[in-house]
Chain A
């Protein structure tokens, strides 16, 4: 990971396991992904009980009702590519409020399957670009009634012209590949963080795509 920018100072350092010590403040974030990475996180199954002793989930679409990304998050696992204006805004605000940002899964790392639409915006792929191409197909050609692009400023985000990997819009500290990264890989990463490893050294088994 020589291309990694220098690690920002995380506000958190690992406490010894035990009662009363501060817990790691963990966020999980879902941008343009399929939630498979989040499902792999839930595949930690009973390990979640162990994790809960040392980690507080302070923000998560599936495991928290907190609506606003909180301040002073230690680690964020960010699933998904950056495909629309909401994704972009959330990525920027979580960067400001998080010590360590993890590109969590292949979509965050490379744009992966959501990024396939970028091909539609390639030179020679037709006019209009990739966003227009998918909107046209979805909401005009394939509508039986009331065709038209969904548009509700302030409520519906706009699609970005190119679907981007996370590191294209904010500095990223760690990459955890896989589509999704299976639960044991996620556990290995979290355990390294809980041991206080900086930078985190992941083994070859944790660094596989697909």
Chain B
């Protein structure tokens, strides 16, 4: 008789999920699936609310990366007001996002994933967690806790609270940088750097030793990678496409730098650029989503390759894969080393852990650089205007990848339609493929009738998901590409064809 092995719930994960393995009558693995089991429906119940409330509401999608929603909502609001925000506000927002990426990556590495590497896949499940790490390696645990605290504290110093601050607003930010805040950050930076240096050292030693098999087999496959890049093709986390003409959204064959406008870049596993200089405003022309009946998390794909061939990955590894360089010395050196280990495009999902540490370096160097900029302390931080547009798309790089907010409003600024494309959802196809690959690598084939699959093997399946640091709070509570405007629909035959195909 065929049977189903269920891992329920998947733990040390930001969200509610199950994994199932389908075995046939002979015990051969037929299918492995990652099921996301929650849904809140933000895209519907935000309708009718003022667009200025969107930051506060959508921050409540996720308590781990509320800043990402705050920033995307503020940026969408900037566009609805049609203002260019003051330079100090733009820089303060960057500081906020760098702090948030640091704290979120520290959480993923130290609190959630390192117990697997440091305590062992086979260690006691009751102790294989942050508290177990605190007991066995208190110094490292404390350093990790304080690194997360560093990011959280910057968020509080800027926005008044660590979680669900409403400091970024359409037109800029609510308040300038306090001198005392700057001093605090400067004083704690050296410790934060020392911690990430320590973590990189430990992690690389593990990669050279016991983690080689994981690096090879945890979701190692070709796919597309997508992320923002800056005007020079460097690593970028906040600014979207800026000015000029788009370079053929969805079209193939883009090459070289992003034409000086930044925007979204898509790179294939062989290193070729599939698209470059994509405008966030056009996201629906190059991204689409499919539904599977067995998960509340939808399956975004790159539209022109179709479903599921249009599989792409976002997040730390994707950002490092798409950029030409990071732009600060230590981070660039770490990027070179990562590419030496993994090739010019890293295709193993396990390398997300390494990428996260490299990105913390990039964030800390970015914070240091910003603090040296006198303009950061300019008190003019907010541009005021009334509603000037009826529709806008804002983008930011959340810790887990590219986040889109898309609003339509009426003459009073009340939301008539909202769509949010969340980072983690875009990794859904890749997470499922990763679970299947790990199951094939580690689960005995066939599984003899009546045999239980040992817990450490099941933990590896969960760890495959943890590579992506998925935020399921985010990804299921708002997802879906808003149908294009009617006139766009009329101009775009492919879209119509794909809708019909799925119906």
Contact = CB atoms under 8 A, between A and B. Distances in A.
Interface of A: 30, 32-40, 42-43, 45-46, 48-49, 52, 57, 60-67, 83-84, 86, 112-114, 116-117, 119-120, 133-135, 137-139, 141-152, 155-157, 159, 179-180, 182-183
13 contacts: A39-B64, A42-B107, A65-B129, A66-B125, A134-B39, A137-B44, A141-B480, A142-B289, A146-B290, A155-B37, A155-B294, A156-B295, A182-B162
Given A143-B291, A150-B292, A155 B502 contact: no
Nearest to A55: B131
B163 A39 contact: yes
Given A39-B163, A150-B293, 20 more contacts: A35-B63, A42-B111, A46-B142, A48-B134, A49-B138, A65-B11, A65-B126, A65-B128, A66-B125, A133-B44, A139-B298, A142-B289, A144-B290, A144-B498, A144-B502, A145-B301, A152-B293, A155-B6, A156-B37, A157-B38
Which 4 pairs between the two chains have the least Cβ-Cβ distance?
A36-B63, A142-B480, A134-B41, A145-B502
Contacts of B313: none
Given A142-B289, A150-B293, A179 B126 contact: no
A37 B18 CA distance: 22
A194 to B, nearest CB: 16
A40 B292 contact: no
A39 B151 CA distance: 13
A64 B291 contact: no
Given A43-B152, A46-B145, A49-B134, A143 B502 contact: yes
A34 B61 contact: yes
B18 A32 contact: no
Contacts of B14: 35, 62
B493 to A, nearest CB: 14
Interface in B62-82: 62-64, 66
A202 B355 CA distance: 44
Contacts of A151: 293
B8 A67 contact: yes
Nearest to B8: A67
Interface in B17-56: 18, 20, 35, 37-41, 43-45
A135 B42 CA distance: 11
B414 to A, nearest CB: 14
Contacts of B18: 155
A144 B289 contact: yes
B407 to A, nearest CB: 14
Contacts of A30: 16
Nearest to B69: A34
Contacts of A148: 291, 293
A143 B298 contact: yes
A180 B63 contact: yes
B20 A155 contact: yes
Contact of B64 (A35, A67, A114, A183): A35
B499 A117 contact: no
Given A66-B126, A145-B498, A182 B307 contact: no
A147 B163 contact: no
A2 to B, nearest CB: 29
Contact of A116 (B45, B128, B298, B303): B45
Interface of B: 6-9, 11-16, 18, 20, 35, 37-41, 43-45, 57, 60-64, 66, 107, 111-112, 125-126, 128-131, 134-135, 138, 142, 145-146, 148-149, 152, 161-164, 288-296, 298, 301, 303, 307, 419, 459, 473, 477, 479-483, 495, 498-499, 501-503
Nearest to A37: B63
Contacts of B292: 146, 150
Contacts of B148: 42, 45
B165 to A, nearest CB: 11
Contacts of A139: 291, 298, 480
Contacts of A84: 37-39
Nearest to B126: A66
B200 to A, nearest CB: 22
Contacts of B152: 43
A72 to B, nearest CB: 15
A63 B132 CA distance: 9
Nearest to B104: A39
Contacts of A62: 11-14, 111-112, 130
A112 B60 contact: yes
A39 B37 contact: no
Nearest to B289: A144
Nearest to A35: B63
Nearest to B63: A36
Nearest to A58: B126
Contacts of A40: 63, 162-163
Contacts of A182: 161-163
B38 A138 contact: no
B85 to A, nearest CB: 26
Contacts of A142: 43, 289, 419, 479-483
Given A40-B163, A62-B14, A143-B480, A83 B40 contact: yes
Contact of B40 (A38, A46, A134, A156): A134
Given A62-B14, A150-B291, A182-B161, A137 B40 contact: no
Contacts of A114: 40
Contacts of B11: 61-62, 64-67
Contacts of B8: 67
B162 A43 contact: yes
B291 A146 contact: yes
B62 A35 contact: yes
A48 B145 CA distance: 9
B149 A45 contact: yes
A7 B418 CA distance: 44
A34 B62 contact: yes
Of listed B18, B293, B481, B502, residue having the most chain A CB within 10 A: B293
